[in-house]
Amino acid sequence: MTAAQPEVDHAGRDVNTQAGDVLLKVEGAKKYFPIKQGIIFQKEVARVHAVDGVDLEVRSGETLGLVGETGCGKSTLARLIAGLYPMTAGTVSFDGSDITNLSRKKMRPFRRDIQMIFQDPYGSLNPRRRVGSIIGDPFDIHGVADGAERKKRVQELMEVVGLNPEHFNRFPAEFSGGQRQRIGVARALALRPKLIICDEPVSALDVSIQAQVINLLDDLQNEFGLTYIFIAHDLSVVRHVSDRVAVMYLGKIMETGPVDDLYGLPRHPYTNALLSAVPIPDPDRADSRERIILRGDVPSPVNPPTGCPFHPRCPKAQDICVQEMPPLEPVFVDPPTHRTACHFPVPEGEDISQCTPGIDQSGTGPLVGADLSAITTGS
């Protein structure tokens, strides 16, 4: 993935010709969180539609980038895949077996294969425990190694992720943010999983440290043949690490495709808006480009809009967008791997900042609204 290892990079990225087997398949995943009220008897008064019908495939050895604004459901989707929340509807299959809503006991063997790296390097490590026992947890929980053997393995892991194995007995508070994230990586790596779900693993880190952690993840992928689901709201990071990208908005996938296709020819108006907000280092080019400013805020997932969830803010919205959610499928001349859920996808060369919607969007708030640059640069 990095420029330092171009051969591997291209081989990994070229999904059309050299795709691995499907490792993870998510179909129609839905997660609604009930909002309850009442003192003794609680009744459900509303639901948060966090994930609302997601289909997803991850092939072994690749990195799938999952992008979207805060609150679009990408972290919930990650937790559904990791089996941390029961699903409202849909199925998840891993390596050919259905792991949807498995009981704790039945899920255990799969947990060895699916691991997570968390966003907050301060919150994801128990401050009361020594690093050695945190990294050794997977061995302990799955009864893999004990005593001296466990210690040896933990120290090997620390070496692998670039920590000093001598720091075995230290507490998380004695490490920097980047080092703590390495601890989290070591813990995720302990059981040699097949799939690692990285939930915004670098969002909380300084930019210079982000690069180190990303390069570490990249090296580990090559060394251990890992598959990643990489969640981020920083489009540059996602572009850098991913083979394929999926864009989420209000619990639904809006567009998905190989990274170069999606960044080169974004078809969904929302993807266009996101990408137009990425800063361009060249001031001349930056000036010539029109930034797409979206109307209003992201609607509440408690009452998501009908039809396409993006219609209240979309510059190309028409009546049909209010009524019908478009299917996720290839548009124009796109290859089958590049799919877009839009009634009016953006053809090459169209400037959607010039478009005017065909429906009344006055309910969505003033035009000033959301400037996506804060979201997409991860600041």
Partner 1 sequence: MGRFIVRRALFGLVVLTIISFAVFWLFFVFAPGDKAGNFCGKNCTPERLAQIRALYHLDEPWYSQYWLYVKRLVLHGDLGYSFTNQTPVRSIIFDRAPATASLALGAAVIWLSLGIPIGILAATKPRSLRDRAATIFALGGLSIPTFVLGLVMLYLFFYQLTIHGVAFFPGNGYAPLTENPWEWVKHLILPWFTLAIVSAASYSRITRGSLLEVLGEDYIRTARAKGLSERRVIYRHGLRSALTPVVTLLGIDVGTLLGGAIVTEQVFGLQGIGQTAVQAVINGDLPIIFGTVLFAAVFIVVANILVDIAYAMLDARVRLA
Partner 2 sequence: MTLIAADEVAEQKGGGGKDPQPTKAIEGRAPLQLAWARLRKDKVSLACLGVIVLLVLVAIFANQLTDLIGHPPNEQYRDEGLQPNGLPVAPSSFFWLGGDEVGRDVLSRIIHGARVSLLVGVVATAFAVLIGVTIGTMAGYFGGVIDTFLSRTMDVFLSFPFLLFAISLVAVKGASLRISIFVIAFFIWANVGRIVRGQVLSIREKEYVEAARSLGASDLRIMVVDVIPNLVAPVIVYSTLLIPTAIVFEATLSFLGLGVPIPTPTWGNMIATSQSTYLQAPWYLLFPSLALFITTLAFNLLGDGLRDALDPRAARVLARK
- Interface contacts to partner 2, rule CB under 8 A: 2-4, 39-40, 42, 79, 82-84, 104, 107-108, 111-112, 114-116, 118-120, 123-131, 137-138, 141-142, 161-164, 166-171, 173-174, 176, 178-179, 182, 184, 187, 207-212, 214-215, 236-237, 240
Q: What is the dihedral of CA 195, 200, 206, 212, to 10 degrees?
A: 10
Q: What is the DSSP letter of 225?
A: T
* Shortest distance (Å) from residue 258 CB to partner 2: 20
Interface mask (CB under 8 A) for partner 1, residues 206-245, using x and -? ----------------------------------------
C-beta of 131: minimal distance to partner 2 in Å? 8
Comparing CB distances to partner 2, the nearer of 259 and 342 is: 259
Give the C-alpha separation, 215 to 199, whole Å: 16
The least distance separating partner 1 from the CB of residue 177, rounded to whole angstroms, comes to: 23
**Closest CB 39 distance from partner 1, rounded Å:** 5
CB of 44 to partner 1, least distance (A): 13
Question: If we measure between CA atoms, which residue out of 156, 107, 113, 111 comes closest to residue 135?
Answer: 156
Count of CB atoms within 10 A of residue 347's CB? 11
Residues 151 and 139: their CA atoms lie apart, in Å, by: 10
Amino acid making up residue 133: S
Print burial letters for 90-117: b (CB count within 10 Å at least 16), e (below 16).
Answer: bebebbeeebbbbeeeeeeebbbbbbbb
User: Any contact of residue 176 with partner 1 (CB under 8 A)?
Assistant: no
Please identify, using beta-carbon distances, which residue of 3 and 40 lies nearer to partner 1: 40
Residue 366 to residue 369: CA distance in whole angstroms: 6
Which are the contacts of 53, defined by CB distance < 8 A and separation ≥ 6? Answer: 28, 29, 30, 90, 251, 252
Q: Do 301 and 73 contact (CB within 8 A), yes or no?
A: yes
CB 280 within 8 A of CB 346: no
300 touches partner 1 (CB under 8 A)? no
153 contact, one of partner 1, partner 2, none, CB 5-8 Å limit per kind: none
Question: Which of partner 2, partner 1, none has residue 164 at its interface (CB below 5 to 8 Å by kind)?
Answer: partner 2
Q: Does 39 bind partner 1 (CB under 8 A)?
A: yes
CB of 341 to partner 1, least distance (A): 37
Is residue 43 involved in binding partner 1 (CB under 8 A)?
no
- Residue 37 touches which of partner 1, partner 2, none (CB < 5 to 8 A by kind)? partner 1
Q: How far apart are CA 233 and CA 236, in angstroms?
A: 9
Question: Residue 173 CB, nearest distance to partner 1 (Å)?
Answer: 22
Residue 256 Cβ vs partner 2, minimum distance, rounded to whole Å: 23
| Burial of 33 (C-beta count, 10 Å sphere; 0-12/13-18/19+) | middle
Near partner 1 by CB under 8 A: residue from 40, 148, 333, 368: 40
With contacts defined by CB under 8 A, how many residues of the chain interact with partner 1? 4
Query: In this complex, which beta carbon is closest to partner 1, that of residue 141 or of residue 302?
Result: 302
Cα-based distances in Å from 269 to 301, 351, 356: 20, 10, 12
Q: Which is nearer to partner 1, 38 or 143 (CB)?
A: 38
Query: Binding segment for partner 1 among 32-40, 153-161, 310-318, 353-361 (CB under 8 A)?
Result: 32-40
Q: Which is nearer to partner 2, 93 or 133 (CB)?
A: 133
Q: How many Å apart are CA 331 and CA 149, to the nearest integer?
A: 55
Binding site for partner 1 (CB under 8 A): 37-40
